[in-house]
Structure 1
């Protein structure tokens, strides 16, 4: 699909210089894909000991997108590993679950995958000074001595450009019990059989990560992988791409025991089968929940 447009641009101070947060939120609500473009100097952001002062333009693909209260957008990179521009990849096998909010607040969770024994327990950790990176401001640190450290921060990129590909069509929606609220299940099934991409927005998917009575209204947008339509029982299923679940908030942020990741199987009867990973132990847990969902297909 083509047709990428910049719906919101921020400057180094994270002030809006073009577009609007409202336009970005509206596009995401229509199922649009999200990428974020930034600009930085290599010797300021990547290697502060380097003499290379050239500017680097980065484009990041966010395959997991959150829409909070129908107005606040945050994206998470679900397939990224730590990158080294000299060695290829970072020193330890891990994931880099970078998280970007629409106001430039950023975060990272890094589950280590190499099986090393953790040296500590989950909880608040010391915030480092990062004096050699004056544009980097670490806001907090969590679980530093575990196998799932995370932190929230702001890096003052030269600019932030929130790009969307608004080439999706909502064709079906249902409540948590699978009762149709809009559109046609037949249209969803027919589009998938034709080879069109499928995406699903799951309402309240991370409610169980919030404290009782504190859940924030939200949808999580996930890309479908393999799709199945049962022609007699009339149930549509997709095995979605892996995603990261985060306790809903504005801005979206990581903290101890406030996130996990894994694989899901959403169904048009309202059921989501979950095979989630405890990031501290890498143990898998099976569960299921019910949610209202909206289904999109690529145009």
Structure 2
């Protein structure tokens, strides 16, 4: 079976042209990785003063995925920095936390890392009309004059193609107190000892960002890096790859002071240590919580 399978395609108006969202949801629910392909014209998206109409095809990896209300998928690029095609990087050091939903809604959060002083405080900002980019529709904007601006938007790409890498199997699930609901720690430990990759789905990871809005059930899927197994205690813990957290909603997006990023250390007893970053100040904070977690291993 191919590593990547296309399960959904949307056209420029974000209408389904092949596949189905249910297949995408089912794959992500089962631990599948997510990549999304799009296409755009150089003189419409990169350099609007250019006469170069060449089609550029892009495929992006979304290493953090969200499953909301067990029926809605979104992904966030957690490792991307701004690229200025075709020669290098953008003008300011930052991260580019692009976010894509299953229906083509998009968002961007950009914590600047260069230490420049902000020119204003957080709050709702006026959307940019982007007159030189008629395919770019900024829906709302936040914190524009801070070091952590974000916005929700739709760009009318030529197409949206959703690919899943469904070579993961769930081997353990437990409640926030560590009580096992399915699978076993032995299956996880055996796969770990055989060199398998591991990822987790943490239920309710962003509940503290919900604010006064109605709760949205959600799981956040994150890859793990260094893993450690106590062989007598039979407890596994791991250093997760960077995670981007945002207030749960459908479609998923960003808002003022409603997102952050950082690192987690989940354990198989439900404990999760967090080392999270305030995107406005880049100050770290530590917090420990307990969550229900599902554990997946690569096949």
Which secondary structure does the structure 2 equivalent of 1:52 belong to?
coil
Deviation at 1:195, TM superposition (A): 0.7
Residues 118-129 of structure 1: matches in 2 within 5 Å? Answer: 118-129=118-129
Deviation at 1:129, TM superposition (A): 1.4
C-alpha RMSD of matched pairs (Å): 1.1
Q: Which residue of 2 aligns with 1:67?
A: 67
Q: Following TM superposition, by how much is the alpha carbon of 1:213 offset from its aligned partner in structure 2, in angstroms? A: 6.8
| Pairing 1:75-154 to 2, within 5 Å after superposition | 75-154=75-154
Which residue of structure 2 lines up, in the alignment, with residue 267 of structure 1?
Answer: 267
Change (3 A) 1:280 1:267: same
- Secondary structure of 2:80's match? coil
Once the two structures are superposed, residues 120-176 of structure 1 have per-residue CA deviations (whole angstroms, 9 ceiling, x without a partner) of: 000011112111111110001100000000000000001000100110000001000
Matches for 1:1-299 after TM superposition, within 5 Å = 2-212=2-212, 214-299=214-299
Cα distance between partner residues in 2 of 1:113 and 1:161: 31
Per mean C-alpha deviation after superposition, the further-off stretch among 275-284 and 234-243 is 234-243
- 2:128 and 2:148 map into 1 onto residues whose CA distance is 17
Partners of 1:23 and 1:263 in 2: CA distance: 30
TM-score (norm 2): 0.98
* Alpha-carbon distance in structure 1 between the residues aligned to 2:250 and 2:85: 33
In 2, Cα distance between the equivalents of 1:190 and 1:104?
39
Q: CA offsets per residue over residues 35-82 of structure 1, 9 Å max, x none?
A: 000011111011101121100110000000000011100000000000
Q: In the aligned structure 2, how far is the partner of 1:120 from the partner of 1:213? A: 26
How far apart, in 2, do the equivalents of 1:160 and 1:225 lie?
Answer: 30
2: CA distance between counterparts of 1:244 and 1:68? 15
Q: Helix, strand or coil: the match of 1:264?
A: strand
Over 3 Å counting, the alpha-carbon distance change for 1:84 and 1:213 in structure 2 is closer
Relative to structure 1, the CA distance from residue 245 to residue 230 in structure 2 (aligned partners, 3 Å threshold; closer, same or farther) is: same
Provide the rounded CA distance (Å) in 2 between the counterparts of 1:16 and 1:2: 23
Q: Which 10-residue stretch deviates more, 134-143 or 206-215?
A: 206-215
Q: Which runs of 5+ in 1 are unaligned?
A: none
Shift >4 Å, 4+ stretches:
none
Counterpart CA distance in 1 for 2:12 and 2:109 is: 23
Q: CA deviation at 1:87?
A: 4.2
Name the SS for the 2:232 alignment partner.
coil
Cα deviation for residue 3 of structure 1 reads: 2.1
Q: CA deviation at 1:215?
A: 2.0
CA distance in structure 1 between the aligned counterparts of 2:258 and 2:172, rounded to whole angstroms: 31
User: SS of the residue aligned with 1:25?
Assistant: helix
